[in-house]
Amino acid sequence: MENKIIEKVLESISNNIKVALVTLTDVSGSTPTDDGNIMAVWETGKTFGTIGGGKLEYQVIKDTVEALQKGKNKKFSYSLMPDGDLKMKCGGNAEGFIKVFIPKNKILMIGGGHIGESIVHLSKFLNFQITVVDDREDYANKVSLQEADKIIISDYSNFIDKVNIDSNTFVVIATKDHSGDQDALEQTIKTEAKYIGVIGSNNKTAFLKGELLKKNYPEEDFKRVYAPVGLNISNQDPKEIALSIMSEILLIKNSKELKHMDMLKNLKV
C-alpha cells in the first residue's frame, strides 16, 4: 500500500498538481495507528491511504488542506487523551509532518516565433513549466522549441480546452498578427491566469482593448493584462525583449516592486 501512496504522490507531482504527503513520526500509547504510516492528501480534501482513521485522521486532513492552501509544510502534534486536543479515549499522543509539494509555476507561450523561442529557453532556466501554442507546424515543433515541455498546434481561437490554465499560470501572447493576438487574448482573459502579457505597440494595445470592450468584456478583466508586455529595459532584439518579459513575470510572481537594489551611494563606512 505504501508504494501505491508514493506512486500517487509522484503522479500528481509529474502532472503539476499540488499534493501533500502526511507521515506519522512519533506515536505513543494505545493509538489506532503506528509510526511511519503515510497518507496522500489533495487540496480538495481527497485522500489516498490512511493514518488510522477516526478523529485523528479527520483533523490531520483538515490541517493538511490548510497547509496546501498556504503552500507551506507543517508539523502537528495531538494528545489523544480524554482531556486532550481531540477528546479521544484511546490515550497516547500522535506527532507527524505534512510535506507539501508545490506545482511549478507555468508559462503558456502563445506564438512560437523568435521571442517565443527565447521565452522557452529562459523559462526552463528559471524552472517554469512551459507550454507553447502555435498554428504553424513549421514553428510548433521540437526542432525550434526543443526545451518546451509541451507543444500544441492549434488555431488561436480554439486552443483553450487543450491547456490547463490556473492561478499559477503566466500567459505571454506574441502571435504572428493582430487577429491571432486578439483571439488568444479573448481565450485567456476568461481564465484564472495570474498574468497575461500581450506584445505590441501602444496603438495595438488600445485597439485590442477596444475590440474586447465592444464584445462586452468587463473592465475588471484587464487588471491582469500587461500590454505592451515587459519592462522598459530592452532594445528590439528578440532575446532582450524575452528577458524584459521574464523580468516582469518574476516581478509579479514574487510580489516585488521595481527598484534598484543599489545601496552603495548612501553607504557610510
- Please check whether residue 262 lies inside any domain of the structure: no
CATH number of the CATH domain containing 172:
3.40.50.720
By the 10 Å C-beta count (0-12 exposed, 13-18 middle, 19+ buried), 257 is classed as: exposed
Burial of 209 (0-12, 13-18, 19+ CB in 10 A): middle
Domain boundary among 61, 83, 101: 101
If asked whether residues 178 and 211 sit together in one domain, one would say yes
How far is 240 from 251, CA to CA, in rounded Å? 16
| Cα 128 to Cα 105: distance, rounded to the nearest angstrom | 5
Q: Answer whether 193's CB lies under 8 Å from 222's CB.
A: no
Provide CB contacts within 8 A for 26, sequence distance 6+: 35, 93, 94, 95, 96
Whether 111 and 77 share a structural domain = no
Domain that holds residue 202: 106-254
Dist CA 198 CA 175 (whole Å) = 9
Residue 14, pLDDT > 60, answer: yes
Q: Which residues contact 66 (CB under 8 A, 6 or more apart)?
A: 74
Single-letter amino acid code for the residue at 239: K
The single-letter DSSP state of residue 105 is: P
How much of the chain, in percent, has pLDDT values that exceed 70?
Answer: 93
- Which of 36-40, 102-106, 136-140, 220-224 is predicted least confidently? 136-140
Asked whether residue 111 carries a pLDDT value surpassing 90, the answer given is yes
As beta bridge partners, residue 27 has 94
> Final residue of a domain: which of 101, 133, 150?
101
Domain end position, chosen among 78, 101, 124:
101
pTM above 0.85, yes or no: no
pLDDT tens-digit readout, 137-188: 888 887 779 899 999 999 999 999 999 898 899 999 999 999 999 999 999 9
Nearest residue to 246 via CA among 128, 110, 103, 142: 128
In a domain, 269, yes or no: no
Co-location of 250 and 125 in the same domain: yes
Strands (E), 164-214: 169-173, 195-198
